[in-house]
């Protein structure tokens, strides 16, 4: 399995909420897991930097996973919602959101992501 295939597998595992994925920790454990976030984030960067042209399946997975992460963060921050995320990076949450936003937008614009900005 080449590196791109491994990165796509990480994305798929997140979309499915499979055990050990970042979305698994958010959904099943109500926990922000830094290690699995980094794995997801780095895999998305690799996909963005290696993938052309746009692939509908990958585009769908990116949007679904990004959307789920954003909704989870919003629910956690809402005073009217009972959802809580352990180890939520309150002070730097906007950085996590902004970094994901930059990467996802880069995918749809067709531009490479310079890892040095993170």
Q: Is 83 helix (H, G, I), strand (E, B) or coil?
A: coil
Of the candidates 65, 79, 81, which has an alpha carbon nearest to the alpha carbon of residue 26?
65
Backbone angles phi, psi at 59, to 5 degrees: -60, -45
pLDDT in tens, 61-113: 999 999 999 999 999 988 888 888 999 999 999 999 999 999 999 999 999 99
pLDDT tens for 7-28 read 999 999 999 999 999 999 999 9
Residue 19 lies in a domain: yes
Q: What is the pTM of this model?
A: 0.91
Q: Which domain holds residue 10?
A: 3-110
* 117 falls within a domain: no
User: 84-96 burial by CB neighbour count: b if 16+ within 10 A, else e?
Assistant: ebeebeeeeeeeb
The Cα–Cα gap between 56 and 74 comes to 27
Residue 27 lies in a domain: yes
Q: Is residue 92 domain-resident?
A: yes
How many domains does the structure of the chain reveal?
Answer: 1
């Amino acid at each position: 399995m080449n590196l791109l295939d491994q990165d796509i597998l990480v994305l798929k595992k997140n979309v499915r909420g499979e055990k050990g994925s970042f979305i698994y920790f958010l959904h099943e454990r109500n926990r922000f897991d830094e290690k699995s976030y980094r794995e997801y984030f780095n895999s998305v960067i690799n996909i963005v930097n290696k993938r052309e042209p746009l692939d509908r399946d990958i585009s769908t997975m990116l949007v679904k996973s990004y959307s789920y992460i954003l909704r989870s963060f919003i629910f956690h921050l809402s005073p009217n919602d009972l959802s809580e995320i352990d180890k939520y990076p309150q002070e730097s949450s906007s950085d996590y959101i902004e970094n994901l936003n930059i990467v996802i937008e880069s995918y749809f614009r067709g531009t490479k992501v310079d890892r040095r900005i993170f």
